[in-house]
C-alpha cells in the first residue's frame, strides 16, 4: 500500500511534466483500476456498507428535490469507538448495525483507512470529527487518549451545564477548523443542562481530478431540472478515457472518473429522464446492490464529457435515522449501556448519546485545489476543440438530475465517503 501511494504520485507528475500521449495515459488508468479495484470490483462489501447506503438514502430522500450530500462513513467511526466500551444490549445493537461480530474487528474500523485519509487531508479534505462529553472528572482518561489515531474521532470535554456557551464554543471551534467554510453545526435545541454526550462532524471536500479539466474547454449548456424547466449553466468538459456504462435495465447511464487523491473516484449515476431521480433512489434503497451487475460491465471508453460545477452544503441530524436502524439503547438517558466510559464510583451515574449532527460541503470545478497552471498545450487544445460536431465520439452530459458517489478503494473493497444528489443550481 505504501509503495503504491508513493509510486502513483510520481507517475502522475511524470505524465504531467512530460505531456505523454494518450496511450500512456490509458496505461496509467488501467494500472489504477487493477491496483485500486475501483467500481468494477466484484468483491463483496462489508455488511455495514449496505446499511450505510440505506442510511444515506434515507437522509437524501428526506431532502426531497434539494441538492444534498452526506457522509455516513464519518458517522461510522465514532460509533465504532462507542461499540468498544458498550455493554449488554447497547453493544449488541452497535455490533449488529456496524456489521461486526467482535471487538477485534471493530478496532480496525478506522485504522485500515487511516493512511488514505491522511493522504486526503493533505489537500482535498478538511475534516472535524468530535465526540463532546460533559466536563467532568468522571470520564476515564483512556477513553480520551489516542482516540483520533485509533478511531478517527477526537474526544473533548465541554461544559454542558452552560448550554449557550457550549453551543457557541463548539460552533466557533468547527468554523475555525474548517477555515470558515462550515458554520453553525449545533443548534440551541441540541444542548441542555442534561446533555452528557453529542457527536459532531463537519467535512469540506473540494475535488481534485487525477487529470484536471481545462478551463478553456468550459462551455454553457442546457440543464433540464426536475420540473422540466431548462436553464443554461457552465459545464466543465473534456475528451478522455472514462469508466462508462449504459444500464438499459434501470434506464440510466453511469460514469466514473478518478480523483487526484490516491484511491479516490467519483461516480455519476444519471437516470435518462429528468423526473426519474426520486424513483431511482427508491429502487436503490430497496435493493442496495441494484447497480452491482452494471458496474461490473463498465468499460474504459473514450468520451466527450460535460459536467456541471458543484457547490453543495448539507446539514443532517442523524439521531432519528440511527434509531430507525435499531440503535436505541445508547440514546437512553436512564440506562445507555455506556457506563464503562465512567470511572468506578463516579458521581455521574449514566452517560448517553443525545445528538449526532453533521454538516458537509462538497465543491467541484475544473481544477480542484491545484494551484499551478495545468492548461493543455496549444496543439493538443486545438485538437480537442476540433472534436466537436461531425466527429464520431460518444458524449456524456450530466444535464439532468443525478446521484453521485465519492469513494475510496482499499484493495478490492470500495467505501463510499460521500453520497449526494444534484437537482440543478437553482435548487441548491
More confident residue, 49 or 427: 49
**Average pLDDT of every residue of the chain:** 84
Share of the chain above pLDDT 70, in %: 82
Alpha carbon 385 to chain centroid, angstroms: 33
Domain ranges of the chain: 2-36, 65-207+312-362
Confidence band of 281 (pLDDT split at 50, 70, 90):
very high
pTM of the model: 0.84
Q: How far is CA 99 from CA 75, 96, 110, in A?
A: 14, 5, 14
More confident residue, 279 or 122: 279
The partner residues of 422 in beta bridges, in order of sequence, read 402
The pLDDT tens digits for 235-250 are: 999 999 999 999 999 9
User: CATH assignment of 65-207+312-362?
Assistant: 3.30.497.10
* Position 13 pLDDT exceeds 50: no
Name residues whose C-beta falls within 8 Å of residue 404's C-beta, 6 or more positions apart in sequence: 266, 267, 268, 269, 419, 420, 421, 422
More confident residue, 205 or 38: 205
Q: How many CB atoms lie within 10 A of CB 276?
A: 18
Share of the chain above pLDDT 90, in %: 63
Instruction: Give the residue-averaged pLDDT of 255-278.
Output: 93
pLDDT at 157: 95
Residue 209 to residue 369: CA distance in whole angstroms? 9
* Position 55 pLDDT exceeds 60: yes
Residue 54 to residue 325: CA distance in whole angstroms? 9
Strand 413-422 relative to strand 68-70: parallel, antiparallel, unpaired? antiparallel
pLDDT at 44: 40
The pLDDT tens digits for 368-425 are: 775 444 444 554 455 454 455 545 689 999 999 999 999 988 877 888 999 999 999 8
* Position 128 pLDDT exceeds 90: yes
More confident residue, 37 or 98: 98
Residue 428 to residue 196: CA distance in whole angstroms? 35
Strand 197-206 relative to strand 355-364: parallel, antiparallel, unpaired? parallel
Amino acid at each position: 500500500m505504501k509503495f503504491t501511494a508513493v509510486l502513483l504520485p510520481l507517475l502522475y507528475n511524470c505524465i504531467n511534466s512530460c505531456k505523454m500521449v494518450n496511450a500512456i495515459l490509458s496505461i496509467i488508468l488501467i494500472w489504477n483500476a487493477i491496483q485500486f479495484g475501483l467500481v468494477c470490483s466484484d468483491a463483496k462489501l462489508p455488511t455495514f456498507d449496505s446499511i450505510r447506503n440505506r442510511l444515506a438514502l434515507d437522509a437524501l430522500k428526506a431532502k426531497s428535490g434539494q441538492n444534498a450530500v452526506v457522509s455516513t462513513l464519518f458517522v461510522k467511526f465514532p460509533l465504532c469507538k462507542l461499540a468498544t466500551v458498550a455493554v449488554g444490549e447497547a453493544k449488541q445493537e452497535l455490533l449488529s448495525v456496524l456489521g461486526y461480530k467482535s471487538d477485534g474487528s471493530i478496532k480496525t474500523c478506522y485504522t485500515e483507512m487511516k493512511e488514505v485519509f491522511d493522504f486526503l487531508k493533505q489537500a482535498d479534505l478538511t475534516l472535524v470529527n468530535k465526540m463532546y462529553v460533559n466536563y467532568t472528572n468522571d470520564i476515564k482518561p483512556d477513553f480520551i487518549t489516542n482516540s483520533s489515531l485509533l478511531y478517527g474521532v477526537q474526544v473533548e470535554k465541554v461544559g454542558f451545564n452552560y448550554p449557550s456557551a457550549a453551543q457557541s464554543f463548539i460552533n466557533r471551534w468547527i468554523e475555525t477548523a474548517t477555515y470558515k467554510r462550515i458554520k453553525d453545526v449545533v443548534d440551541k435545541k441540541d444542548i441542555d443542562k442534561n446533555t452528557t454526550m453529542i457527536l459532531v462532524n463537519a467535512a469540506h471536500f473540494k475535488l481534485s481530478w487525477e487529470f484536471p479539466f481545462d478551463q478553456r474547454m468550459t462551455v454553457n449548456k442546457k440543464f433540464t431540472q426536475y420540473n422540466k424547466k431548462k436553464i443554461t449553466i457552465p459545464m466543465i468538459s473534456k475528451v478522455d478515457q472514462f469508466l462508462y456504462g449504459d444500464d438499459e435495465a434501470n434506464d440510466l447511464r453511469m460514469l466514473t472518473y478518478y480523483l487526484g487523491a490516491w484511491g479516490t473516484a467519483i461516480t455519476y449515476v444519471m437516470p435518462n429522464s429528468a423526473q426519474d431521480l426520486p424513483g431511482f433512489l427508491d429502487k436503490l434503497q430497496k435493493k442496495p446492490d441494484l447497480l452491482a451487475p452494471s458496474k461490473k460491465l463498465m468499460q474504459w471508453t473514450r468520451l466527450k464529457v460535460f459536467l456541471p460545477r458543484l457547490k453543495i452544503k448539507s446539514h443532517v441530524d442523524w439521531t432519528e435515522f440511527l434509531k430507525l436502524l435499531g440503535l436505541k439503547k445508547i440514546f437512553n438517558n436512564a440506562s445507555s449501556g455506556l457506563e464503562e466510559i465512567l470511572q468506578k464510583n463516579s458521581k455521574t451515574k449514566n452517560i448517553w448519546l443525545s445528538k449526532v449532527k453533521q454538516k458537509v460541503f462538497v465543491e467541484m470545478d475544473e481544477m480542484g485545489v491545484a494551484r499551478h497552471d495545468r492548461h493543455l498545450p496549444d496543439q493538443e487544445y486545438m485538437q480537442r476543440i476540433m472534436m466537436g460536431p461531425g466527429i464520431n465520439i460518444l458524449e456524456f452530459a450530466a444535464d439532468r438530475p443525478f446521484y453521485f458517489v465519492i469513494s475510496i478503494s482499499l484493495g478490492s473493497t470500495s467505501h463510499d465517503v460521500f453520497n449526494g444528489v444534484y437537482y440543478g443550481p437553482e435548487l441548491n
